[in-house]
A and B are shown apart, each in its own frame.
Chain A
């Protein structure tokens, strides 16, 4: 089986901005391995000339008129934020 290694799990976790302890890495390696193994069933299908479907509707880019409209109330939007400062979302320092 082993379609995914603990190192790959750690790599993917970093890409997804998640962190796990050793036990969790082991669990995910096992579980994702089993799921990917099951998904491997798709290799039975010959899809050489099959176009991919990203969307079921025949829709394309939808444009709208560039009209100025009122936005949501600023106070209401900031009310949902963990931390704000002087009309900005506050985050830990990113530049030394």
Chain B
């Protein structure tokens, strides 16, 4: 098997035994990129030169027989919304088309501390706003399982490059499902940690009360290793939580005897793809065979999550994106000699359509006379959605649902109707509003050969339970071993 197809934990054993070098591995991944990137278009920027320097640095350690971290020498891609010092960070936007950050995000620093090899920055919906990666100002990323379909979004590039073996692992960000939904649609593992588990320092802000960084990997073991590497308190992010971080690989036991799993009836919605529903029910049965007890639960406010999310996220975005004014960084409209005009022209030319739509929606929801009717109402609905989960976790350990109501849809299919695109996130936004940890793991293919994802959620900071259930399911079913024919 070519090196680019292996997982990080398999490669670590080979690196440690000096069967391979990180330089060989990095070359293998770049060869793969040369072979398939023309079809996938998952990257905005490749950092080949520094990647080989990082690989050689890791190889020095392995050759010396040093104790090397699990992700040392492993080629990893980073979503272009996460700051990388000295490397272009566009957020998929023209307004940051020339932005080279003067600092690293905390997660970037943590990958460097592991001795990982950063191979490039991945494509995304502009400022992480979207569910298909079609809102990128740069390119349309294709789903490796069917090049006529989208990879999901907003972290579509990060999901597609792992699915296409153009990276061993990657980092994405999830605000309303932007890790879990593309992971499901591309047939890889994707995890959104609890809000506060991973530092957001250097993650370009979209909706600050929701944004969270997390990994895309080929299996659950790699997911635990990535989470180990990036989690933890950071004084640079006052919303990062100062709690002990367990070794997440300790939860990979293949034992879920007695684990209580809840299946919310509201997640099997009208209009859901029947194949998705069937495959997810089969997956729930597999969990029962593994020893879990399954019960139907109710999360009665689920149907209000999209409406709530599309008040809160755009409201926060409208404030966060006020900083793109053409003064301190990024694009500035030329030849405008009046300040307000300069702001307006810069922002109107620099932002894409969806970003403007959300800034408008958020500004409206926060504006004088509408605040109570929209923003305050949204915050109260958020309380009800969160309370549903609080109650559910009094009786169950893990909640299992489909990640997305449909498999990957065709490029262009939903771009004409913003509301229809928003509804793609109907099964991931509720847990985002509650700040919960969640994973999507592959659970089968449709008759058309498109991957389906199983979402698993747990109470805040119980990532271990999610990983325990996900690993047991994965080892029992082996859906994760299926690969797209590229």
Contacts and interface: CB of A to CB of B under 8 A. Distances in A.
Interface of A: 4, 8-9, 12-13, 15-20, 28, 31-32, 34-36, 38-45, 47, 50-57, 59, 62, 64, 72-73, 76-77, 79-83, 89, 91-94
A53 B102 contact: no
Interface string B376-420: 111111111010000000000000000000000000000000110
Interface stretch (B109-117, B216-224, B322-330): B322-330
A52 B383 CA distance: 6
A43 to B, nearest CB: 8
A12 B362 CA distance: 10
11 contacts: A12-B360, A12-B363, A17-B322, A32-B357, A52-B376, A52-B379, A52-B380, A59-B196, A80-B101, A81-B329, A92-B338
B359 to A, nearest CB: 5
A12 B364 CA distance: 6
Given A12-B363, A92-B337, A42 B344 contact: no
Contact of B332 (A31, A51, A83): A83
A18 B356 contact: yes
B100 interface: yes
Contacts of A16: 318, 347, 359-360, 363
A17 B327 contact: no
Contacts of B195: 56-57
B473 to A, nearest CB: 27
Q: Which size class do B's interface residues fall under?
A: 35 or more
B347 A17 contact: yes
A59 B351 CA distance: 33
A72 B342 contact: no
B209 A80 contact: no
B307 A38 contact: yes
A42 B378 contact: yes
B327 A81 contact: yes
A89 B367 CA distance: 30
A30 to B, nearest CB: 10
A14 B374 CA distance: 20
Given A12-B363, A16-B359, A31-B418, A80 B100 contact: yes
Nearest to B381: A42
B307 A4 contact: no
List the 7 shortest-distance A-B pairs measured between CB atoms, nearest first.
Answer: A56-B435, A52-B379, A82-B332, A47-B380, A76-B102, A62-B238, A80-B329
A82 B327 contact: yes
Given A38-B306, A41-B304, 7 more contacts: A15-B363, A17-B322, A42-B378, A47-B377, A52-B380, A80-B330, A91-B342
B138 interface: no
Nearest to B357: A31
Contacts of A57: 195-196, 239, 241, 435, 460
Nearest to B196: A57
Interface in B79-120: 98-103
B377 to A, nearest CB: 5
Given A45-B304, A72-B102, A54 B342 contact: no
